[in-house]
Amino acid sequence: MKPPKSLTNKLKAAIVLTFLLLVIFGKNILDRKNFNELEASFISVYEDRLVVESYIFSISENLFRIKLLVNHCWEESDYSHVLEEIEDYEDQILKTVETFERTNLTVAEEQFLTDFKEIIMNKLRINDYESLYSEEAGINTTQVHIYNEHIERAINDLEKLSQIQIEEGRRLADNSEKVVNRSRIWAQFEIAALAILLLIIYLLIYTSRNIKSELID
């Protein structure tokens, strides 16, 4: 026996309804995923890029002060405290580097930061201030030149690290834009699905009333 046409239509409508509900459910799952991605991007931009840029600025400032002390060593009437100042700036730099290392580093960041740390720890440590300047010999231009070369290499590492912050920030911004655009497309699809859903529900109600009227008649 062939099933009634109304029953067949209802079965088709039920299948379409189930599909639309699954699509809407899947869209909600995707929305949560997109939200988590956006949240991770915003956190990364702040903690791993903006805050890190402040670390780089602080390190650069201390490095510049060290360079001033080295390049103007002959101007110090009492240079017994200068070595302590340089060591203090270096210690501040290394503390900031330790905090920097706890952020989410890229491979390139890790390489430049490791090189920078090695310069500070092994190349810029002044064990004897007289290796730079003494009243008898004056300025040791060779040693000052070597020291400045190490500082310039450290500054170059900082510039590379700063450039990475810009590039990574741009990448995170682009990724966030893609997530937002993807959400907009799915939102439009969801609106269309809801419209179809309402239409099917209306048709089901309308056909049910017609069948009921026919039975009564």
- Which residue in 77, 75, 81 sits closest to 139, CA to CA? 75
Quote the pLDDT of residue 214: 47
pTM over 0.85: no
Rounded Cα–Cα distance for residues 66 and 82 (Å): 9
Judged against a pLDDT cut of 90, whether residue 16 lies above it is answered with no
Q: Give the phi and the psi of residue 172 in degrees, each rounded to 5.
A: -65, -40
CATH number of this structure's domain 54-170: 1.20.1440
Report pLDDT digits (tens) over 80-110. 677 788 889 999 999 999 999 988 888 999 9
pLDDT digit string, tens, across residues 21-64: 777 777 777 777 766 776 666 666 666 677 888 899 999 999 99
pLDDT, tens digit (0-9, with 9 covering 90-100), for 130-168: 677 666 766 778 888 888 899 999 999 999 999 988 888
Tell me if residue 140 falls in helix, strand or coil.
Answer: coil
